[in-house]
Structures are given as structure tokens and as C-alpha cells.
């Protein structure tokens, strides 16, 4: 049974990786394409390349995350059922929000799914609920909740600095430099996104391999990571324009200078979260918040507040939908694996 479940985990993870790339690539390319810093075709190719590179570089960070997140010991089949249920929920939610054109957090959804599945598993296994709740859920949750506020505040304040530096300069030259910086930020943000995606999926795969009793899981991880990177890169090549249109055109009216501030803020925070803190940071929440922060620091109304409220509703619903659906799927699978 463990072998079958492990195969199913691998089968479901492949489209999940593709959709993760599709879902998150707009965060790095929407504004540069909107301000004509890059063409859509070139932006997607650059994003796919650097996202793939970021995933390949994230393997040590994912293993580090696995080392400090001591998942509760339970029946191997039940553990794999939780992981499989979490991946199914993540895939379904990402597809739903993509077709809705809403930039939601894959990291939020995955962590909530694992928590919901674990809490459901303790109802059918001889495990105390306190053992699950004692895990360090609050550390990544605090980071995920704080990052949008930091991104908004940093982008809003950095607009003052950017405007001051650009004062008195030729507007065409300011726009040219701003677009050039945005072109560079596509690669940086994409690499930061890849680092984040690589961390979370390495963590999930290590949990699955350990539960399945695979010997020498690090070797399997090394080979699997090449496939991870290629699938996420393939998703990036699609462009994710349903979400990109919302971020670039329907959420905020933004000029090249403020677009530069938004993209560089996102890049900086992603690298700080991935390399400095080795903590999960939502690319979608960080990017959207930085765009709103930079775009709102203008003398005229620029924010589509109706669209902003819609995004907030989906952000709030993400952990609830993922956690509940995973819990239900886990309870359905439990009699089959125990």
C-alpha cells in the first residue's frame, strides 16, 4: 500500500509543480510587461530560466526545513495519505484561483493543507492533538502574515526615495532606467520564487520518502529535483496571464518608476526570506502587496479597491479551503490505508 501511495504522490505532484509555476510566474513579469520593460515572450523565457535555476539551488534549504519540522510519527500509509490529500487540495485550489485570476499563496495553501490533514489523521490514529499543534506552525505563519505588511510599507516608503532621486531628471531617462532595473528584477524575482517553491516541494517530497521507507532519500531528491525544476519552468513558460492581467492592469495604475520600486522590493524580500531566514515566504502576497504599496503612493487615486477586496477574500479563504478539503480527503482515505 505504501508503494502505491508513493506512486500516487509522485503522479499528483507533477501537475502540481506545473501549475505552481503557472500560478506564480505573473508575480515577476506582470509589471515589467505592463510598463513595457520586456515583451511578454522574453519575460516568460527569462522567468522560466531563473525560476528553474532557483528550484535547483533550493534543495539544501528544503532539506534544512525538513530537519527542523519534526512531522508527527504515525502509520506510514496514513502519513502518505495526508501528503497525497494535501497535494490534491493544493492542485485544485491553485487551478480554481488561476481561472479566477487571483494571485493566492501556494505556501499558505500547502501549510494549511498539511495542518488540516494532520489534525484529521489524529482522529483515526493513536496520536495526541497536542503533538501536532506543538509543531512550529507559528513561525512560517507569522512570516506569511507579516510579509505583505512589510512589502506594502517598504514599497510605499521607497517611492519617496525614488522620486527624490529622479527629481529634476529627464522623464524619458528616468523611465528608461526604471525599465532597465525592472528587466533585471524579472530574473531576481523569478530566482527567489524558485527558491521558495523548491524549499516547499523538497520538504513535501522528503516527508513522503521518509514515510515510504525509501533508503538513501537524498539521492532520490537530487534526481527528483531536476524534474521539479523542469516542470515548474514549463509552467512559467505559459505566462500565467489570467493572474498577470489582474496584477498589471486591473489592480493598480502604475508608472515605470513605481513599477521599479515594486519589483525590487519583491526581489529583496524573497531573497531575504529564502537565503537569510530559510523560511517560506509567499511570492504572490509579497508581490501584490508591493505593487499596491508602490502604486498607492501617488497624488491621485490609482488602486482598484473593489479588486483589492476580492483578492483579500481569496487570501483569507486559501488556508480555510485547503485545510478543510485536505482534512476531508484524509478521513476518506484513512480506512483504506489503515
| Segment of 96-110, 114-128, 137-151, 186-200 carrying the highest mean pLDDT | 96-110
Question: What is the band of 175 on the pLDDT scale with cuts at 50, 70, 90?
Answer: very high
- The average confidence (pLDDT) of the chain is 85
* pLDDT at 22 (0 to 100): 92
Going by C-alpha positions, the residue among 94, 74, 147 that lies closest to residue 334 is 74
CA 35 → CA 31, 205, 260, 267, 296, distances in Å? Answer: 6, 38, 9, 17, 16
Question: What is the band of 335 on the pLDDT scale with cuts at 50, 70, 90?
Answer: confident
pLDDT digit string (tens) for 116-135? 998 888 888 777 666 666 66
Q: What percent of the chain has pLDDT over 90?
A: 43
Inform me whether the pLDDT recorded for 185 exceeds 70: yes
Structural domain including 185 reads 2-337
Rounded to whole angstroms, how far apart are CA atoms 275 and 266? Answer: 14
Rounded to an integer, what is the distance from CA 191 to the centroid of its chain? 12
Higher local confidence (pLDDT), 221 or 55: 55
Higher local confidence (pLDDT), 187 or 68: 187
pLDDT digit string (tens) for 27-54? 999 999 999 999 999 999 999 999 998 8
* pLDDT at 62 (0 to 100): 53
Q: What percent of the chain has pLDDT over 70?
A: 86
**CB proximity list for 272: less than 8 A, separation 6 or greater:** none
pLDDT digit string (tens) for 193-202? 888 888 788 8
* pLDDT at 199 (0 to 100): 79
pLDDT digit string (tens) for 243-287? 998 998 888 888 999 999 999 999 888 877 656 555 667 788 889
Rounded to whole angstroms, how far apart are CA atoms 199 and 221? Answer: 12
Rounded to whole angstroms, how far apart are CA atoms 218 and 239? Answer: 32
Give the mean model confidence (pLDDT) for residues 145-165: 91
Inform me whether the pLDDT recorded for 86 exceeds 90: yes
Higher local confidence (pLDDT), 333 or 125: 333
SS3 labels along the chain = CHHHHHHHHHHHHHHHHHHHHHHHCHHHHHHHHHCCCCCHHHHHHHHHHHHHHHHHHCHHHHHHHHHHCCCCCCCHHHHHHHHHHHHHHHHHHHHHHHHHCCCCCHHHHHHHHHHHHHHHHCCCCCCCHHHHHCCCCHHHHHHHHHHHHHHHHHHHHHHHHHHHHHCCCCHHHHHHHHHHHHHHHHHHHHHHHHHHHHHHHHHHHHHHHHHCCCCCHHHHHHHHHHHHHHHHHHHHHHCCHHHHHHHHHHCECCCHHHHHHHHHHHHHHHHHHHHHCCCCCCHHHHHHHHHHHHHHCCCCCCECHHHHHHHHHHHHHHHHHHHHHHHHHHHHHHHHHC
Considering the entire predicted model, what is its pTM? 0.89
Number of domains in the chain: 1
Amino acid at each position: 500500500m505504501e508503494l502505491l501511495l508513493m506512486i500516487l504522490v509522485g503522479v499528483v505532484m507533477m501537475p502540481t509543480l506545473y501549475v505552481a509555476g503557472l500560478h506564480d510566474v505573473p508575480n515577476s513579469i506582470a509589471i515589467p510587461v505592463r510598463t513595457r520593460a520586456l515583451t511578454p515572450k522574453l519575460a516568460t523565457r527569462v522567468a522560466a530560466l531563473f525560476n528553474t535555476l532557483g528550484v535547483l539551488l533550493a534543495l539544501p534549504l528544503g532539506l534544512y526545513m525538513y530537519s527542523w519540522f519534526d512531522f508527527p510519527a504515525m502509520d506510514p500509509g496514513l502519513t502518505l495519505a495526508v501528503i497525497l490529500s494535501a497535494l490534491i487540495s493544493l492542485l485544485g485550489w491553485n487551478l480554481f484561483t488561476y481561472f479566477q485570476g487571483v494571485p493566492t499563496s501556494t505556501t499558505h495553501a500547502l501549510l494549511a493543507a498539511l495542518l488540516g490533514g494532520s489534525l484529521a489523521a489524529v482522529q483515526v490514529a493513536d496520536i495526541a492533538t497536542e503533538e501536532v499543534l506543538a509543531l512550529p506552525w507559528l513561525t512560517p505563519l507569522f512570516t506569511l502574515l507579516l510579509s505583505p505588511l512589510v512589502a506594502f510599507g517598504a514599497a510605499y516608503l521607497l517611492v519617496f526615495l525614488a522620486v527624490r532621486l529622479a527629481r529634476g531628471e529627464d522623464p524619458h531617462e528616468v523611465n528608461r532606467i526604471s525599465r532597465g532595473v525592472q528587466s533585471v528584477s524579472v530574473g531576481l524575482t523569478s530566482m527567489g520564487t524558485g527558491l521558495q517553491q523548491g524549499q516547499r516541494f523538497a520538504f513535501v517530497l522528503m516527508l513522503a520518502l521518509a514515510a515510504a521507507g525509501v533508503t538513501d532519500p537524498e539521492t532520490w531528491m537530487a534526481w527528483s529535483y531536476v524534474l521539479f525544476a523542469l516542470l515548474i519552468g514549463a509552467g512559467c513558460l505559459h505566462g500565467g496571464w489570467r493572474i498577470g492581467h489582474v496584477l498589471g492592469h486591473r489592480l493598480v495604475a502604475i508608472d515605470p518608476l513605481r513599477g521599479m520600486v515594486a519589483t525590487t522590493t519583491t526581489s529583496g524580500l524573497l531573497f531575504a526570506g529564502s537565503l537569510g531566514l530559510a523560511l517560506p515566504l509567499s511570492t504572490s502576497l509579497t508581490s501584490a502587496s508591493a505593487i499596491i504599496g508602490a502604486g498607492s503612493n501617488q497624488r491621485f487615486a490609482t488602486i482598484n479597491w473593489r479588486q483589492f477586496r476580492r483578492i483579500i477574500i481569496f487570501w483569507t479563504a486559501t488556508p480555510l479551503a485547503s485545510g478543510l478539503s485536505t482534512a476531508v480527503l484524509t478521513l476518506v482515505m484513512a480506512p483504506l490505508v489503515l
